[in-house]
Structure 1
Amino acid sequence: MKKTTIWLLTIIMALTFCSLLYIQIMYMNNMIRMRDDQFAEGVRRALYSVSTSLEQDETRYFLEEDAAAMQASLYQREDGTGSLNYSFTTPEGLEANIIISSDKNTVPSLEQKPPVSANAGKYRSLQETIKGQYLYQKGLLNEVILNILSQSSNRPIHERADSTAVASYLKTEFQNNGLNLPFEFAVVNRAARIVYKSHGYDPATVGRNNMFVQALFPNDPASRMNYIKVYFPTKYDYIMSSMKFLIPSFIFTLILLMVFVYTIVVAFRQKRLTEMKNDFINNMTHEFKTPISSISLAAQMLNDDSVRKSPGMMQHIATVINDETKRLRFQVEKVLQLSMFERQKATLRLQEIDANSAISNIISTFKLKVESYGGKIEADLRAENALVEVDEMHFTNVIFNLLDNAVKYRREDEPLRLTVSTADVGGDKLEIRISDNGIGIKREDLKKIFEKFYRVSTGNRHDVKGFGLGLAYVHKMVRELNGAIRAESDFGHGTTFIINLPLTTIN
C-alpha cells in the first residue's frame, strides 16, 4: 500500500471519528439541557402548588374564624324571619355592613315548580330579584376574601407557614412531579434574612442553576413578602443518571479510536520495515556479488594451463579465494544474526573476562585496518576494575562493529582518529567509550540507529556497505549482557558510543 493511500485513509477515518464524537457530545449536551429544563419546570410547578396550598390553608383559617363570628350574629326571629349580619372594610378603606334577612314563609323555594296560574309572572319577577341579590352578594364575598388575604400578612410567617407543614408540602409535591431526591430549603424575608431553614441548608454549596425561589404568599404587600428557597444537593447526579445509556457508546467509540490509531501506527511501522527490508535485500545482493564474482574469476583462471604452471599465480589465486570466502562467510553470519532478533533470549556463554585486556587485543587486531586508511587508533584504559561477565565472542563482535562503523563513516577530508577508553562509574559499572571524528549522525537519525535494518543512508546508495543490522545487533547484545548503550553525536564532528556494563566485583 502506498504511503499516500495510508495518509488518505488516516485523514478520512480521523474526520469520521471526530464527527462521531462531536455528534455524541452535542447529543449529550442537548439531553442534559433538556433534562435540566424538565427538572426546573417540575420544581417550579411543585413550588407553585406549595404556595397555593399555603394560601388555601390561610383562607381556611380566616373563614373558620369568621364563620364562628357570623354564626353568633345569625338569629331566628319570633315571627319566622332570620338575618345574617357581616361587617367588613374594603381595600379602598370603605366600611360596609351586610344584612341578609329572609322569611321562610314568604320567599318561595327556587326548586318549587312555577305556578301555572296568573301568578307566574310575579314568580319570575321574584326569581330575577333573588338572582340579582345573589350575584351582588357573591361580589361582596369575593371582596371579603381578598380583604382577608390582605389582612393575613400581618400574622407572623411562623404561624402562616409552619416549617413542618412546608417541608411536608414540599416533599409531597416533589414526589408528585417525579422528583424523589433529597432537598434543602429555607424561608427568607424581603431582605434575604433567613426566617427558618432545614438542617442541611448551606447556600455556599449550591451549584449553578440549582437554587429555586418562590413567593410563599404572592398576594402579600411587597414590603411583607416572604420567599422559599430550595436546592437539591444531588441534582447533578440525578440528571447524569439519565445519561448512563450514553456511556457504553462513548466507551465503544474510544475503543474503536484506539484500535484505529494502533492500526495506523502498525501500518506505518510495517511500511517503514518493508522499505528497510528492501534496502537490506539490495545491499545484501551487492555485498554478495563482489566475493562471488571474485571467486568465479579465480575459478576461471584455474582452468588456464599457464596459471596452473605458475606456483606464484596459484598461491595468489588461492589467497584470493580464501579471502573472498572469508568475506562471504562473514556476510552470511551477519544475515544469520537476523534469527537472533526473532528470539526473546540469545544463547550466551558467560564467563568472567578483563575488559581492558580484551579491548587491548581487539585494538591490536584492528590497528592495521585503521592505519591502512591513514588513521590512528588510541587506547585509554583507565578502569582499575574491569572484570565483567560476558560472552567473549559477542563482546568482541560488539566492539568490532562499533570500530568498523567508525571506519565506514570516516571523513574524507581529515585523517581518522579513533579513541577507546574505559572508566569506573559509580563503583559497580564499567564504562566503555568509543569515539571518532567521522561525519557524525543527525539528531533525527540518532534515536533510530539501533533499529533493525535502519541505515542513515537508505535507498540504492552503496557508498557505505552494510545491511543495517550492526548497531541493532550491538544494542541487543549489550541489553542481553544487562548493560546499556547510548550514542552522542555532533553532525560533521564525530560520534561517541557509550557502553555501561555491570562489574562482577566491587572494590
Structure 2
Amino acid sequence: MKKSTIWLLAGVMAFTFFGLLYLQISYFRISLKMRNDQFEEAVSRSLYQVSKNLELDQTKKFLNQEIVDYQNKMGYKDPLTEKTITQTKQIKMTDPTGNPIMNIEYNSSQTTSFKSPKNTNAPRGGGNALAQASFNIQELLKQRYDYQRQLLDNVIYKLIQTSSSVPLDEKINFKTLNDNIKDELRYNGIELPFQFEIVDKNDRPVYKQESYAEPDKNALYTQVLYPNDPIDKLNYLRVSFPTKKDYLLSEISFLVPAFVFTLILLVTFIISIYLIFRQKRLSEMKSDFMNNMTHELKTPVSTISLAAQMLKDPSIMKSPEIFKHISSVINDETKRLSFQVEKVLQMSLFEKQKATLKFKELDVNDVIVNVANTFQLKVEKFGGKIDIDLEAGDTLVSADEMHFTNVLFNLLDNALKYRREDVTLELMIRTWNQNNKIYISVEDNGIGIKKEDAKKIFERFFRVSTGNLHDVKGFGLGLAYVKKIVEDHKGTIKVESELGQGTKFIISLFNIK
C-alpha cells in the first residue's frame, strides 16, 4: 500500500472520528443545558406555589378569626322564637382574569329568631303561612349576604393593613415551610437535598436552617414572600441544592458510555495508523535486508567456489604459498558466510517473537573472562586494549549460555565497529551487585551516539550513521537482538552515551537465590 493511500485513509478516518466526537460533545452540552433549564423551571414553579400557599394560609387565619367574631355579632337571642341553622359555607376569591386563587369551606352555626307577625313588616294575608315563610327566608338570605360581604371586607382590609406588621415568625411556621418546599419540589419531580434561608430587602438574614452552608450566588433560587406587603418590608426565600451538579450529570449519564467508547475507538484508530506505518517501515527495511543479504551470501559462496576450482589445478599444489593463500581466502570467506548465516538466524528469531532458550546456571564472571580472551585478538589487531573489573561477588544467574555469550560478543563487536580513528581503542567490562541483581557494563571510548539516535538503537534494522553515511557494515539487528535476549532473561538494558566521548551499555540480571 502506498504512503499516500495510507495518509488519505488516515485523514478520512480522523475527520470522521473528530466529527463524531464533536457532535457527541455538542449533544452532551445541549442535553446538560436543557436539563438545567428544566430543573430551574421546576424549582421556580415550586417556590412560586410555596409563596402562594403561605398567602393562603395567612388568609385562612384571618378568615377563621373573623368568622368567630362575626358569628358572635350576627346571632339573635329572642326568647319567643329562635331556630339554630348549621350550614356549610364556601368563599371563593379570584384574580383579575377570573381564575380562582382561593376556595374556603367552613361550617357555620347560627341561631336566628323568628318573631311574631305583629312585630314584623311581613305582608298580612290573613295568616298566610306560605307568605310568612317566604318573607322569613328572604330576610335570612339578606342577613347571610350582608354577613359574608362584611366578613370578606374585613379579611381583605386586615390582609392589606395589618399583614406587614405581623412578625415573620408569627406568620410562618418554619418547620411547616420546610415540609411545604419539600412537597412542592417532589410534586414537580425534584427529590434532592436542599437548604433555605429567608432574607429581607437589604439581604440581611431573617432565618437560616441549621447547618446552612453559604452556596455560590449563581446557585441560589429566590422567591418573594407575601408580594403584597410594602416594598420596604418584603422578605425573600432563597433555596439552594448542594448536589445539583451531580444530579444533572446523573440525568444525562447515559451519554457517558457512548463518549468513552468513541474515545476508545479514536485511540485504537491512532494506534492502528501508527502500527501500519511502523509495519510498512519494517517491511521496507526487511526487503532491503533480504536484498543485501542475498548479495552478501552470493559473494562468499562465489569466492569459495572459485577457490575450490583453483585447488583442482595440480600446479597449485606445487606452490605452497599459493595454496596457503587460497586456503586463507576459503577460511575468511567461510567465516564471512558464517557471520551472514548468524544474521539470518537472528532475523528468524525476531520472526518467531520468542526465542527457545536453554536455561542453566552460569557464572557471569567466567563467561565475561572467556569472551574477553576470545575478543582480545580482534582488539589488539586495531591497536586497542580490553580491561575487565569484576567486582561482583554473587555471580550466578540462570541463562542460556549461547545467547548470553552472543549478547556480550555483539556489544563488543558494536564497540569495535564504532571506534574512533584518532584515539586508541579502550574497552572496559565491569560487574557489580546491587539489590539482588548483577550488573554488567560494557564501555568504550568510541564515537558515541546522538541523543535522538539513542532512543532508536534497539529497534530492528536501525543503524547509527557516521556523518551523512551509513559506512559501518551491518544490518541493524545486533542491538535489537541484544535487547530481546536480555528481556527474555527477565533483565533490563540501558545505554548511556555522549557524542564524541563513547558509549556504555548496562545490563542487569537477577541472581539465583
TM-score bracket for this pair, using the shorter chain length: 0.7 to 0.9
Q: Which residue of structure 2 lines up, in the alignment, with residue 32 of structure 1?
A: 32
Q: Quote the offset at 1:332 in angstroms.
A: 0.8
Residues 400 and 68 of structure 1, relative CA distance in 2, 3 Å threshold: closer
Give matches, 1:192-271, under 5 Å. Answer: 192-199=203-210, 202-204=212-214, 206-207=215-216, 209-271=218-280
Identify which of 265, 284, 304 aligns with 1:275: 284
Counterparts of 1:114-125 in structure 2, within 5 Å, are none
Name 1:325's counterpart in structure 2.
334
Indicate the residue corresponding to 1:495 in structure 2.
Answer: 503
Instruction: Compute the TM-score of the two structures, normalised by the length of structure 1.
Output: 0.76
Match of 2:349 in 1: 340
**Alpha-carbon displacement from aligned partner over 1:382-424 (angstroms, at most 9, x marks no partner):** 5363743444433432222222222222234x14412223243
Counterpart-to-counterpart distance in 2, 1:46 and 1:391: 79
| Structure 1 position 450 matched with structure 2 position 458 | yes
Report if the CA contact (8 A) 1:354-1:386 is conserved: no
**Secondary structure at 1:203 match in 2:** coil
**Whole-Å Cα distance in 2 between the matches of residues 454 and 340 of structure 1?**
17
1:209-242 deviations in Å (ceiling 9; x for gaps): 4322222211112232222222233323332232
Alignment check: 8 A CA contact 2:386 2:427 kept: yes
SS at match of 2:165: coil
- The CA deviation at 1:479 is 3.5
Whether 2:156 is the aligned partner of 1:148: answer no
Q: 1:173-184 alignment to 2 at 5 Å?
A: 173-184=184-195
Indicate which of 414, 430, 445 corresponds to 1:405.
414
Q: CA deviation at 1:72?
A: 5.2
Select which of 156, 172, 176 maps to 1:161.
172
> Structure 1 residues 244 and 230, CA, compared in 2 at 3 Å: closer, same or farther?
same
CA contact (8 A) 1:307 1:313 kept: yes
Q: Are residues 4 and 495 of structure 1, via their aligned partners in 2, closer, same or farther at CA, if it must alter by over 3 Å?
A: farther
User: For the structure 1 residues 370 and 33, does the alpha-carbon distance in structure 2 shift closer, same or farther, using more than 3 Å as the test?
Assistant: same
- 1:451 match: secondary structure: coil
The amino acid of 1:353's aligned partner reads D
1:346 shift after superposition: 3.2
Question: 8 Å contact 1:212–1:230 — kept in the other structure?
Answer: yes
User: Does the residue aligned with 2:162 lie in a helix, a strand or coil?
Assistant: helix
Cα-to-partner distance string for 1:433-488 (whole Å, 9 max, x where unaligned): 33333222111111221223322249x97632222221122223334445433222
Q: Which runs of 5 or more residues in structure 1 are unaligned?
A: 79-102, 107-133
Shift of 1:246: 1.0
Query: Aligned letter for 2:357?
Result: T
Contact 1:383–1:430 at 8 Å: present in 2 too?
Answer: no
Give distance in 1, aligned partners of 2:404 and 2:185: 81
Judged with a 3 Å threshold, the aligned counterparts in structure 2 of structure 1 residues 418 and 279 are, in CA distance, closer, same or farther, namely farther
1:369 — aligned with what?
Answer: 378
Normalised TM-score (structure 2): 0.75
**1:260 Cα deviation after fit:** 1.0
In the alignment, the residues of structure 2 paired with residue 427 and residue 216 of structure 1 have an alpha-carbon distance, to the nearest angstrom, of 75
In structure 2, C-alpha distance between the alignment counterparts of 1:350 and 1:433, rounded to whole Å: 22
Aligned-pair CA distance for 1:250: 0.9
Cα contact 1:149–1:220 (8 A) shared by 2: yes
The worse-fitting range, judged by mean Cα deviation, of 257-266 and 357-366 is 357-366
C-alpha spacing 1:140/1:484, structure 2 compared with 1 (3 Å): closer
Q: 1:30 to 1:139 in 2, by over 3 A?
A: farther
If asked which structure has higher relative contact order (CA below 8 Å, sep 6+), I would say 1
CA contact (8 A) 2:496 2:505 kept: yes
Answer yes or no: is 1:186 the counterpart of 2:194.
no
Q: Distance in 2 between matches of 1:424 and 1:493?
A: 23
- How far 1:173 moved relative to its partner? 2.5
Q: What is the aligned partner in structure 1 of residue 107 from structure 2?
A: none
SS at match of 2:222: strand
Equivalent position of 2:55 in the other structure: 55
Out of 483, 486, 489, the position equivalent to 1:475 is 483
| Alignment partners' CA distance in 1, 2:512 and 2:247 | 65
Q: Deviations over 1:163-216 (max 9, x none)?
A: 2442343233223322233333333444555544545x5132x35643222222
* Corresponding letter in the other structure for 2:307: A
Letter in 2 for 1:292: V
Q: Which amino acid aligns with 1:66?
A: E
Q: 1:120 aligns to what? A: none
> CA contact under 8 A between 2:307 and 2:326: conserved in structure 1?
yes
1:379 paired to 2:398: no
| 1:335 positional shift | 1.2
SS at match of 2:428: strand
% same residue: 50
Which amino acid letter does the alignment assign opposite residue 51 of structure 1? Answer: S
The runs of 5 or more residues in structure 2 that have no matched partner are 79-119, 124-144
Instruction: Name the CA distance, whole Å, in 1 between partners of 2:285 and 2:24.
Output: 42
1:366-387 CA distances to partner (integer Å, 9 max, x unpaired)? 33333333x2113143536374
Alpha-carbon distance in 2 for matches of 1:492, 1:5: 41
Q: Per the alignment, in what secondary structure is the counterpart of residue 269 of structure 1?
A: helix
Structure 1 pair 15–73 and aligned structure 2 pair: CA distance change class (3 A): same
**Residue of structure 1 equivalent to 2:443:** 435
